[in-house]
Amino acid sequence: MSGTEADGQPTKRVLRRDFLAVRSGLTGDDARKAAAVLAEHALELPELAQARTVAAYVSVGSEPGTRVLLDALHARGTRVLLPVLLPDNDLDWAAYEGQDSLVRVRHQGKIELLEPSGARLGPHAVLEADAVLLPGLAVDEHGNRLGRGGGSYDRVLARLERSGADPALVVLLYDSEVVAHLPAEAHDHPVHAVVTPSGARRFR
C-alpha cells in the first residue's frame, strides 16, 4: 500500500510530510517563544550543562529554534561546533563564535543554511563533542528519531559509532512531535534525550 509499511503504519516519507505540514503552520511569534523556552530547558539538562564541547546546528525556517541556545552555550564558555554541508551531504565542522560568525549559504537544490565562517576542522571534529544536538522531526518513546531523510546525520552517527565515541545525543522538538511509535531500521541510532517547550525527557 502506498504510503504505509506492511503492517499498515505510515512510512517515514509520509510522516515527514505530515510533521513538516504542522510546522509550516507555526507563526514567527510561536517559534520565537518556543526557542526561548527550549534553550532554558536544554541548559538545565546535565548532558549539555556539563559538556565542554557541543556539536549543534543552526535552526532554519520553522525548526525548533537553536540560536538562543547557541548563544547561551557560547557565553558560558562551552565550545560549540556547527556543521558545514559538504557536496556529498557529509558534514564538516567549524567553531561558533557568535551570530556575526554565521554566513548564509545556498547549496545546490537545498534550502539556504546558516553556516559558520571559521576554519574548517574536518568531519572527524564531531568526535570531540561531549553532546551532539541532532535536528529531527519527531521522536518516539524509545528514543527513535525521525530525521529529514538527507542522510547527513546518519553519517555523523555512524562516524561516532565507528570511533567508539559515546556523546549524549539530544534532539530539540515541539511537544506534538514526541509520539508513541516511529518506524526504525537497524542502522538507526536512538537518542538519549529530547527537549521540548514542556521540558526534557531521557530515554536511558
**Residue whose C-alpha is closest to residue 82's, from 61, 105, 49:** 105
**C-alpha pair distances (Å), 133 with each of 4, 59, 70, 172:** 29, 11, 11, 7
Q: What is the pLDDT of residue 3?
A: 54
Round to whole Å and give the CA distance between 151 and 193: 21
Rg of the chain on CA atoms, in Å: 16
Cell 525548533 sits on residue: 64
H or E element in which residue 79 lies? strand 79-85
Binding region for substrate: 58, 63
Round to whole Å and give the CA distance between 167 and 155: 15
Binding region: 12-16, 58, 63, 145-153
CATH number of 12-202: 3.40.50.10420
**In a structure prediction context, what are the per-residue pLDDT tens digits for the chain, which is 204 residues long?**
345 554 446 789 999 999 999 999 988 888 889 999 999 999 999 999 999 999 999 998 889 999 999 999 999 999 999 999 999 999 999 999 999 999 999 887 777 899 999 999 999 999 999 999 999 999 999 999 999 888 899 999 999 999 999 999 999 999 999 999 999 887 788 999 999 999 999 996
- Reading the block at residue 203, the C-alpha cell is 530515554
Listed by start position, the domains of the chain span 12-202
| This model's pTM is above 0.85 | yes
Binding region for ATP: 12-16, 145-153
Round to whole Å and give the CA distance between 154 and 186: 12
CB 194 within 8 A of CB 134: no
Q: What is the pLDDT of residue 64?
A: 95
**C-alpha pair distances (Å), 197 with each of 24, 79, 90, 108, 164:** 18, 24, 30, 33, 32
